[in-house]
Amino acid sequence: MSPLKRSARLWSGAVTAALALTLAGTGQASAADVNNARNAGFESGLGNWTCSAGSGTTVSSPVHSGTAALKATPAGQDNARCTQTVAVKPNSTYSLSAWVQGGYTYLGATGTGTTDVSTWTPDSAAWKQLSTTFSTGASTTSVTVYLHGWYGQTAYLADDVSVHGPDGGGGTDPAPTVPSAPAGLTVSATTSSSVTLAWNAVSGATGYSVYRDGTKVTAVTGTSATVTGLAAATSYSFQVTATNAAGESVKSAAVSGRTAATGGGGGGTLPKHAVTGYWQNFNNGATVQRISDVPAQYDIIAVAFADATTTPGAVTFTLDSAGLNGYTADQFKADIRAKQAAGKKVIISVGGERGTVSVNDATSAANFANSLHTLMQTYGFDGVDIDLENGLNATYMTQALRSLSAKAGPSLILTMAPQTIDMQSTSNSYFQTALNVKDILTVVNMQYYNSGSMLGCDGKVYSQGSVDFLTALACIQLEGGLSPSQVGLGLPASTRGAGSGYVSPTIVNNALDCLTKGTACGTFKPSRTYPDLRGAMTWSTNWDATAGNAWSSTVGPHVHGLP
């Protein structure tokens, strides 16, 4: 739970680019408007398109619709710029859009005769639509539409480009036909309040609608969706349709999905909305506590921290009895049992500012799982918190956590506390690990502090210390594949708890209300609400006590009173 150290070069460039965007308003299309782009879906290879330095090609997977998509790879001083000259009418307004995936992607138009426009997105693991508008000048009959990536970044994918507006006379692609029904619908995961579905892509589809018991409940652009807000231990019937501009397909064959009896992905008997607090096994000037001193508002108590050993991947734990005023190991164990008898969970946290645990091969993964299971048996811990601030290997951390889960059983509590930069993209190793273990994951309490400005899910830059920072960054996780029941807001308990990013408990509660109920939002308003949001976390119960328990006495009841 330490100040963030990150690359200033990459993120200052991203922030500068984001702030430099010129976005136009949305125009109203008329009935005669068409898509003036040719080979907009790259079904004819790179026909009508020119890509710099041979950077572009077409691929058959993944695609947003149809059977092909553009893949362009930046290399050296080339940013993989792919362009098309599009015929347009003078004094007209056009909507420019494209579906993109992969690395940093930019979309824009030049030669408009008025104000040239562009928009962009950082790397995205799922298809995402970029869109803007432009107007043509009095003598403009063609514009150059472009896509490009960014230097040193990974390849980007693009599909279904549209320059929608008055017919410029350059011809258009054939009109779409109604797609066929999706095949291969399956239930890929369940929690006590959600069911995750997956299906095969449909040629020509630009989106999909999901039906629960005959009623449409959500629409997505990819080939998976998580239906939330469900009752525990209940069976539901699901169907999916494919959609595009021509209409909606017939419904797919139905599949049945039954929610779990309790918890999130993991979590045993935790309440629907929970508060997590870190308990310090050291004296750094905050109030020294025993586990028994932690207020009842805390549902999960994360003991900070386990220590690395000389064996790769293995960890141990030693109570700092001297620093904790003579607190003994026997008293510590008895206090853990008392908290558990009161319905609380006590877990061991691995990492922190000085955490040096490294899990980067099969041997260290096994050592990690075995040593943690030993600590659980020795002290009675309910599970583990992953707070590795110096990076992790998604492949072997996943392997280690699954091994621990197999040893500990379904009641294992598994939490994570990544830094903001770790959850900016699903391609980041921390985010990928969370998705890899989603079926056993209890909650990710991202640290919304010590981070400075970051991108929200809308591509805009937000500064820490505001409702918008909390909600727009939480949205990345909520829309990136985690169940709402697996997302929590991590904040300092006092100004002394972190170097920066402290917000008052009222701001925390406002962010919780914005995400769960759509009220008390700032300038950022989520496209939907997430009533199953798990709750909030703080560093630490000790700093909370130093401030008179103001954080837990304000945020705790609010979390427990959420819908």
Chain segment 139-156, per-residue pLDDT in tens: 999 999 999 999 888 999
pLDDT at 427 over 80: yes
Whole-number pLDDT of residue 43: 84
The overall average pLDDT reported for the chain is: 88
Collapsed DSSP state (helix, strand, coil) of residue 108: strand
* pLDDT band at 247; cut points 50, 70, 90: confident
* pLDDT band at 351; cut points 50, 70, 90: confident
Whole-number pLDDT of residue 300: 97
Whole-number pLDDT of residue 353: 57
What is the percentage of the chain residues whose pLDDT exceeds 90? 71
381 upstream amide cis, omega within 30 of 0: no
DSSP 8-class letter at 236: E
Residue 310: count of CB within 10 angstroms of its CB? 5
Q: Which residues pair with 110 in a beta bridge?
A: 144
pLDDT at 28 over 60: no
Segment 447-471 mean pLDDT: 93
pLDDT: which is higher, 203 or 97: 97
pLDDT at 13 over 60: no
Segment 458-482 mean pLDDT: 95
Question: Using CA atoms, how far apart are residues 256 and 278, in angstroms rounded to an integer?
Answer: 40
Segment 281-291 mean pLDDT: 96
Question: Using CA atoms, how far apart are residues 386 and 429, in angstroms rounded to an integer?
Answer: 13
pLDDT at 487 over 50: yes
pLDDT at 205 over 90: no
pLDDT at 128 over 50: yes
Please give the C-alpha separations between residue 545 and each of 11, 24, 548, in angstroms, as whole numbers.
Answer: 36, 50, 5
Whole-number pLDDT of residue 519: 97
- Return the amino acid letter for 105: T
Whole-number pLDDT of residue 260: 66
DSSP 8-class letter at 259: -
Whole-number pLDDT of residue 61: 87
Cβ 468 vs Cβ 517: under 8 Å: no
Whole-number pLDDT of residue 52: 96
Segment 155-183 mean pLDDT: 89
Cβ 80 vs Cβ 74: under 8 Å: yes
Question: Backbone phi, then psi, for 423, in 5-degree steps?
Answer: -120, 20
| 389 is a catalytic site residue | yes
pLDDT at 116 over 50: yes
Residue 411: count of CB within 10 angstroms of its CB? 14
Question: Using CA atoms, how far apart are residues 179 and 67, in angstroms rounded to an integer?
Answer: 13
Return the minimum-mean-pLDDT range out of 257-266, 313-322, 418-427.
Answer: 257-266
3-state secondary structure 413-477: EEEECCEHHHHCCCCCHHHHHHHHCCCCCCEEEEECCCCCCEECCCCCEECCCCHHHHHHHHHHH
Whole-number pLDDT of residue 438: 92
Collapsed DSSP state (helix, strand, coil) of residue 363: helix
Segment 182-188 mean pLDDT: 87
Query: Which of 57-66, 180-189, 198-207, 464-473 has the highest average model confidence (pLDDT)?
Result: 464-473
Please state the pTM of the whole predicted model: 0.57
Question: Using CA atoms, how far apart are residues 562 and 535, in angstroms rounded to an integer?
Answer: 9
Whole-number pLDDT of residue 457: 94
3-state helix, strand, coil in the chain (%, to 5): 20, 30, 50
Whole-number pLDDT of residue 99: 95
Whole-number pLDDT of residue 30: 46
Segment 382-391 mean pLDDT: 86
Q: Which helix (H) or strand (E) holds 540?
A: none
Whole-number pLDDT of residue 409: 84
Whose CA is closest to 214, among 244, 241, 180?
241
Catalytic residue among 43, 248, 353, 389: 389
What is the percentage of the chain residues whose pLDDT exceeds 70? 91
3-state secondary structure 467-533: HHHHHHHHHHHHHCCCCHHHEEEEEECCHHHCCCCCCCHHHHHHHHHHHHHCCCCCCCCCCCCCCCC
Cβ 444 vs Cβ 416: under 8 Å: yes
Taken as a whole, the chain contains a residue count of 563
pLDDT at 264 over 90: no
Whole-number pLDDT of residue 261: 53
pLDDT at 402 over 70: yes
Collapsed DSSP state (helix, strand, coil) of residue 338: helix
Whole-number pLDDT of residue 263: 39
* Strand-strand pairing, 345-352 and 383-388: parallel
Segment 398-418 mean pLDDT: 92
Whose CA is closest to 52, among 106, 101, 14?
106
pLDDT: which is higher, 353 or 455: 455
Structural domains in the chain, CATH included, are: 25-165 (2.60.120.260), 186-258 (2.60.40.10), 274-560 (3.20.20.80)
pLDDT at 18 over 80: no
